A and B are shown apart, each in its own frame.
Chain A
Amino acid sequence: MANRLIALLVVAGLAAMLLPLVIGFTFHEDTPALGAEYIERSETDLGAANAVTAVVVTYRGLDTLGEVTVLFAATAGVGFVITRRRRTPEFAVREGRSVGAHAGIESTEASSLAGQGPSEILRTASRFLAPVLFLFGAYIFVHGHLTPGGGFQGGVVIASAVVLGIFGAPDRQLAHGTMTTIESLSGASYVVLGILGLVLAAGFLDPTFLPAGSFGALASAGAIPIIYSVVGIKVGTELAGVVDRLRSQEQD
């Protein structure tokens, strides 16, 4: 019971700390000065229509670099703790049985479901939808400077497309060598683009070394689409690799 009491005290302390923030809360009446400055400059200096993209890629570019690094460290941690083994077809049967069993299906149904892998609907749908999802993800991060969206959202959609492909064909191996190569190359090109900004323009990760172009066109806003696309590819392949490692394996 002492544990419960301590937990209650900690939670009450947390609530007491949050209370002044909640009670005296008023929303801004007008855009705060820093935000208004960023929005105005993203139109005149950078030519990006999406101000949040301009803030993430340019004005807070070092935060994005830190985020890419943290993602890489977490992925490396996951890869270090869980090792991969080659999946045999016999194991795919076992996985089908265990997944059926823990989803609460009756034992007779489970044994009839096992050994078949995914159903016909799932196989066909995943083969049809996965390329469409890839295209959609690429569209999202290429248009990141024009519409809501960008590298992270597009990368996550690409990772979801890979997961759909995994569901449709569970006994096929994911090409881990290719994915790690793509991920490392994307991370390196992100830093190279930053250094290009340092050498050719005003500072690290400054995208104005490419021309700003006409406002609202696809090829505008300097190097922002290129930087964000690289971030999107990196995030997508990274998350797909992490999700794939967590799949059931035969042995750890």
Chain B
Amino acid sequence: MQLIPAIGALLIVIGAWGMLTQRNMLKMVIGFSIIDTGVHVMIVALGYVTGGVAPILDGEAPVGAPFVDPVPSALVLTAIVIGLAVTALMLTYVVRLARTKGTLEVSEYKEMKW
């Protein structure tokens, strides 16, 4: 169980490395999506209680095990949907850019550098 934040951190590092080194614009967006997934895994791991159960109540006698914290779950719920919307927006910009020059390589768009 202690490994899960490490897995999330590893995903963030891999995604960041991918975003910085890949020359294909589509792969940069994929790297961003992987960073997003890693961050969400780490946040949900913050809410876990050892031996906990999901916070769905039954209205009956209390469960023997403690409940998992519901607040990080609620925040990550929102964050996942926003991640999708931002990824879709990034992809529309990639598609628009790529249609002006016909290539997905970032190094072709050098005339914007000063």
Residues of A at the B interface (CB closer than 8 Å) are 4, 7, 10-11, 14-15, 18-19, 21-22, 25, 27-32, 34-36, 38-39, 42-43, 49-52, 54-56, 60, 63-64, 67, 70-71, 74-75, 77-78, 81-82, 147-148, 150, 152, 156, 215-216, 235, 239, 242-243, 245-246, 252
Asked, given contacts A28-B48, A31-B68, A39-B55, whether A14 binds B16 with beta carbons under 8 Å apart, the answer is yes
Which listed residue (B13, B47, B57, B59) contacts A39, Cβ 8 A? Answer: B57
Which residues of chain A come closer than 8 Å to B66, judged between CB atoms?
30-31
The secondary structure that dominates the A interface is: helix
Do B85 and A74 touch across chains, with their CB atoms under 8 A apart?
A: yes
Interface size grouping (class) on chain B: 35 or more
Which listed residue (B57, B68, B85, B92) contacts A82, Cβ 8 A? Answer: B92
Q: Does B93 contact A (CB under 8 A)?
A: yes
Asked, given contacts A34-B71, A36-B67, A56-B78, whether A49 binds B56 with beta carbons under 8 Å apart, the answer is yes
The secondary structure that dominates the B interface is: helix
Do B56 and A10 touch across chains, with their CB atoms under 8 A apart?
A: no
Do A70 and B69 touch across chains, with their CB atoms under 8 A apart?
A: no
Q: Could you tell me the distance between the alpha carbons of A242 and B75 in the complex, rounded to whole angstroms?
A: 23
Which residues of chain A come closer than 8 Å to B42, judged between CB atoms?
21
Shortest beta-carbon distance, B51 to chain A, in Å?
9
Do B59 and A11 touch across chains, with their CB atoms under 8 A apart?
A: no
Which residues of chain B come closer than 8 Å to A43, judged between CB atoms?
57, 59
Do B48 and A56 touch across chains, with their CB atoms under 8 A apart?
A: no
Which residues of chain B come closer than 8 Å to A7, judged between CB atoms?
17, 20-21
Do A242 and B88 touch across chains, with their CB atoms under 8 A apart?
A: yes
Which residues of chain B come closer than 8 Å to A235, judged between CB atoms?
81
Do B70 and A39 touch across chains, with their CB atoms under 8 A apart?
A: yes
Shortest beta-carbon distance, B30 to chain A, in Å?
16
Which residues of chain A come closer than 8 Å to B6, judged between CB atoms?
22
Do B89 and A74 touch across chains, with their CB atoms under 8 A apart?
A: yes
Which listed residue (B17, B52, B58, B73) contacts A31, Cβ 8 A? Answer: B52
Which residues of chain A come closer than 8 Å to B86, judged between CB atoms?
74
Q: Could you tell me the distance between the alpha carbons of A29 and B71 in the complex, rounded to whole angstroms?
A: 16
Contact pattern, B 68-100, Cβ under 8 Å of A = 1, otherwise 0: 111101110110111011101101110110010
Q: Could you tell me the distance between the alpha carbons of A239 and B12 in the complex, rounded to whole angstroms?
A: 26
Q: List 30 A-B contacts (CB under 8 A).
A: A10-B16, A21-B42, A22-B5, A27-B48, A28-B50, A29-B49, A29-B50, A30-B49, A31-B66, A31-B67, A31-B69, A32-B49, A35-B67, A35-B69, A42-B57, A51-B57, A51-B70, A52-B70, A55-B73, A56-B78, A60-B71, A60-B74, A71-B85, A74-B85, A74-B88, A77-B92, A78-B89, A239-B84, A242-B85, A246-B88
